[in-house]
Structure 1
Amino acid sequence: MSRRWLYLVHRWIGIASCLLFAMWFSSGLVMIYVPYPSLSPAEHLAHAEPIDWRAVDVPPPLDTGRWPQGLRLEMRDDVPVWQIEPWAGERRTIAAHGGAVLAPVDAGYAARIARRFGHAPVAGTELLARDQWTVGGGFDRHRPLWKVTLADPPGSDVYVSSSTGSVVQATTRHERLWNWLGSVPHWLYPTVLRQDNAAWRQVVMWVSGPCIAAAVAGMWIGILRTRLGRHRFSGGRMSPYRGWMLWHHLAGLIGGGFLIAWIVSGWLSVDPGHLFRSVPPAEAAVRAYVASDQVPAVQFDRLATAGAGAVRARLTDYANTPLVVLDYADGRRTTLSALSLAPARPTTTAIAATARRLQAGASLIALDRLTTPDAYWYEVGGTPRLPILRLRFDDPASTWLYVDPATGEVLATVDRRRRAYRWAFDLFHKWDLNTLTQHRPVWDLWLWLASIAGLVTSISGVWLGWKRLKRRRP
């Protein structure tokens, strides 16, 4: 009876799941080369305007004289502005030039910003809450968004935040087309579904569940129907099947392990039951690491010389080391003491001492300076920021911090649960081991071979299912 149920599950659930598997394998191959549109920090800096230091004559407008969570100086529509991220409440934008009036973020403003960003004339503007390329929750604080279409050869759409006036997303015709064949079907990501995060998570979990059952049942049947010893099938064959059934059997044996790994890890991607959710440090501990009590008086007349050409200036106080971090359009970065404007960076001792407070007094058991990526600090298709400090603590969550030694900023926090998630999801879904991703096209070849085996299994399953359904028609 148990074997009968095994066959029934694989046969009838498999008919629908093979359609999904074929879609997931083919769309996954597209995603290797055309990822979901995202405006990276490097792209944002590359399109930003140099700060007009001559116009900066307003110091950071801080109510209490204490450091906010984030504080930066940049240009907004030809006016230098302070972008302030407080510890509580909404972000604020304040003119850094006395007498300057910030233009409202209306259609005209959005058109000017997008025109400068893309260096192309504007073909149209539209105010919207969300669309397919801004459906994620990360855009919520910027809604509604101004979508500006540019009359350029790539067919660019630029999205401007109604709250900060900054460009937060940009897509091209090429990206949009290929993502309809890649990320959108692969992630079950249509706007009508993804705009409700809770509903989308439930759909992913309940669609993946039966697919896991069908895949495991199929792998089990494939092994049961394989003979490798002396008692082979007629003609010395290892499989009793012929034609499409033979293709389905052999491809399933070869690619079944990859298929199960992909579908289980895909199910884990939405973290069912929040198994991999980390507990963030207390806000008081974060404040102690990010900011000391008082903001130093920065000499902006001298900073105009030191920061010539910079497109963004950030005032930071990580590890109790007040700095001015200058970013340039070409990706360069300079760190200066906020007090003397001389080149400076926090000491490793200061980073370690304040990080202990961030981890509520846990003992620091190891501090490593990494010059190459490790298993948790890496970037598929590129190189992460290096060198990086890795601090490991003996707290109950066994937390690891990855800290930028140039600024003291904590760039990643990886506790035991997130490390488990890295292997359970990232490895078995992306196969993103450094030994593969840093030696392309080895990684590409690995994914293509596994995906082809999965596609043969899926497409043959669809065909066999269709034939079975046709035979059952009256």
Structure 2
Amino acid sequence: MPRRLTRTLRRWLYIGHRWIGIITCLFFAMWFVSGVVMMYVAFPGLSEKERLAALPDMAWEKVRLSPDAAMAAAGAKTFPRDLRLQMLDDEPVYRLTGWDGQRQTISASDGHGIDGVTLDRALAVARHYPGAADVQSIEMVERDQWSVTARYDPFRPLYQIALNDAAGTRLYVSSRTGEIVLDTSATERVWNWLGSIPHWIYPTVLRKDNALWRQVILWLSGICLVVAVSGIWIGILRVRLRRRYSGGRVTPYRGWMAWHHVTGLFAGVFVLTWMFSGWLSVNPGEVFSSRGPSREMLQRYAGHDAPTVAAVVAVTPSSRAVEARFVWLGGAPLMLLANRQGRKLPSIP
């Protein structure tokens, strides 16, 4: 009985590895090829340099509100996670991000809150983007293939605007805050259908449900892990180094099957570690801590928690700043100025 059971289990091991492997090897091929594409074309996103390049020069003479007054107008009880001063087309505004992720926009001219922008204003914002030619509204989207992730939730719905430039650039402008949150080019949109979308299994219909998408990735990669482990185990069971097969061969297979057997013993280890690392990156069971520092860590680093900066905005005409960020560092207030080229200069308010 034990020997018969062992033979039966081994037989099903071989059958399972063969037929499940035929299906999953298509996914392996897709992941390899799409991964090569991803080396050269990333998923669309707005870089810090692109974000700053699309901001107008700061109109310091229009700033009437101090950072403290802006926080008071926003009803802040503690110093926000992020506090910035920048232009919304021709109007200076303070942008506050709370520790709960909520975003508020306060006019730096008169202190009124801005909770939405019109299409005309969104088009005016888009005209400041470098290379913008004849900007044109395409549609308002709640979620599409390029804005599918949760990071854009605080900004939805989004105006999709075409720049009609040589690169075929499309901007996504928040209808809530008036910020440019994403840009895509024609090249990115085409190549990502061969890169990131198949590699991450990223169709909008699936990715919009983050919990479901994670389960699909975990189970699919988990099955592929089992196939890889079973293949290595079968390879070990079938190889003979001492009592060899006829002709002195170490494998019972011939042709492509022999190559699969021998190379699989070594390549299988690579495939296994590659798949396992990808499986862990989805954080199965939430066993890993969240990325980034906690609120308590950041507040200890700042050395300050009250909604105050105790400062007046410093006018620095020579800097041609497009943004001022207000922070606390070790109990001291600091204003960081950024220009359109991305250079940042500290200034003590």
Q: Which amino acid aligns with 1:27?
A: S
Q: 1:261 aligns with which of 255, 260, 273?
A: 273
Match of residue 325 from structure 1: 336
Matched, 1:57 2:64: yes
Could you tell me which residue of structure 2 aligns to residue 85 of structure 1? 97
Distance 1:101 1:89, change over 3 A: closer
**1:71: Cα distance to partner?**
1.2
Deviation, 1:140, is 0.8
1:135 aligns with 2:148: yes
Contact kept? 2:232, 2:265, Cα under 8 Å: yes
What is residue 162 of structure 1 aligned with on the other side? 175
Please give the secondary structure, in 2, of the residue aligned with 1:155. Answer: coil
From 198, 202, 222, give the equivalent of 1:185: 198
- Distance, in Å, in 2 between the alignment partners of 1:166 and 1:337 is 27
SS in 1 for 2:211: helix
| TM-score of the pair, normalised by structure 2 | 0.87
Relative to 1, partners in 2 of residues 1:293 and 1:186: Cα closer, same or farther, differing over 3 Å? same
CA distance in 2, matches of 1:89, 1:243: 59
Which whole-Å deviations, capped at 9, do the CAs of 1:80-103 have from their partners, x for residues lacking one?
Answer: 111122345832212222499979
The offset of 1:158, in angstroms, is 0.8
Give the RMSD, CA atoms, in angstroms: 2.6
Paired with 1:65 and 1:205, the residues of 2 have a C-alpha distance of 41
- 1:159 CA drift (Å): 0.7
Kept after mapping to 1: 8 A contact 2:115/2:176: no
Amino acid at match of 2:245: F
Residue matched to 1:207: 220
Which among 236, 239, 243 is matched to residue 223 of structure 1?
Answer: 236
- Farther off after superposition, 156-165 or 246-255: 246-255
Query: What is the CA distance between 1:288 and its match in structure 2?
Result: 4.8
Indicate the residue corresponding to 1:239 in structure 2: 251
Looking at structure 1, the residues matched to 30 and 228 of structure 2 have their Cα atoms a distance apart, in angstroms, of: 15
C-alpha distance 283-264 of structure 1, shift in aligned 2 (>3 A): closer
Equivalent position amino acid for 1:172 in 2: S
Paired with 1:265 and 1:79, the residues of 2 have a C-alpha distance of 47
Letter in 1 for 2:170: D
Do the aligned residues in 2 keep the contact of 1:226 with 1:238 (CA within 8 Å)? yes
CA distance in 2, matches of 1:259, 1:210: 13
Aligned to 1:111: 123
**Higher RCO (CA 8 Å, separation ≥ 6 residues):** 2
1:366-392 CA deviation, whole Å, 9 max, x = no partner? xxxxxxxxxxxxxxxxxxxxxxxxxxx
- Judge conservation of contact 1:9–1:213 (CA < 8 Å) in 2: no
User: 2:254 & 2:326 partners in 1: Cα distance?
Assistant: 70
Partner of residue 18, structure 1 = 25
Query: Is this contact kept in 1: 2:115–2:177, CA < 8 A?
Result: no
Verify the 8 A CA contact 1:292 1:320 in the aligned structure 2: no
1: CA distance, partners of 2:264 / 2:251: 12
State the distance in 2 between where 1:28 and 1:73 align: 39
Q: C-alpha deviations, 1:134-189, integer Å up to 9, x for none? A: 11111111111111122112111111112221111111111111111111111111
Contact kept? 1:325, 1:333, Cα under 8 Å: yes
1:5 paired to 2:17: no
Letter in 1 for 2:140: L
**Which amino acid in 2 is paired with 1:43?**
E
Q: CA deviation at 1:292?
A: 4.1
Label 1:65 to 1:283 Cα distance change in 2 as closer, same or farther (>3 A): closer
Residues 193-243 of structure 1, C-alpha deviations (whole Å, 9 max, x = no match): 01001111111112122211111111222233334x454434443333233
Aligned: 1:45 with 2:56: no
Q: Which blocks of at least 5 consecutive residues in structure 2 are unaligned?
A: 1-5
Residue 212 of structure 1 contacts residue 263 of structure 1 at CA under 8 Å; is this kept in 2? yes
Partner of 1:67: 79
Structure 2 residue identity aligned to 1:275:
V
Contact kept? 1:51, 1:309, Cα under 8 Å = yes
Does residue 1:148 correspond to 2:161, yes or no? yes
Unaligned 5+ runs, structure 1: 339-474
- 1:79 CA drift (Å): 1.3
Alignment deviations for residues 336-368 of structure 1 (CA, whole Å, 9 cap, x no partner): 212xxxxxxxxxxxxxxxxxxxxxxxxxxxxxx
Secondary structure in 1 aligned to 2:234?
helix
Tell me the distance in 1 between the aligned counterparts of 2:113 and 2:230.
Answer: 67
- Superposition pairs of residues 410-429 of structure 1, within 5 angstroms: none
Q: In percent, how many aligned pairs have the same letter?
A: 47
- Determine the C-alpha separation between the residues in 2 that align with 1:162 and 1:144: 6
Q: Is the 8 A contact 1:312 1:327 kept in 2?
A: yes
Local SS of the residue matching 1:245: helix
Q: State the 1:258 CA deviation.
A: 1.5
The change in CA–CA distance for 1:252 and 1:266 in structure 2 (over 3 A counts) is: same
Q: What's the CA shift string for 1:384-429, capped at 9, x where partnerless?
A: xxxxxxxxxxxxxxxxxxxxxxxxxxxxxxxxxxxxxxxxxxxxxx
1:369-448 → structure 2 map (5 Å cutoff): none
Contact 1:129 1:143 in 2 (8 A): yes
Matched, 1:27 2:39: no
The letter for the 2-side match of 1:272 is: P
1:315 corresponds to which letter in structure 2?
F
* Pairs within 5 Å for 1:259-338: 259-278=271-290, 283=295, 286-290=298-302, 291-293=304-306, 295-300=308-313, 303-305=314-316, 308-338=319-349
Query: How many corresponding residue pairs?
Result: 335
On the 8 A contact 1:24/1:186 being kept in 2, the answer is yes
Deviation at 1:309, TM superposition (A): 0.6
Shift, 1:131, TM fit: 0.6
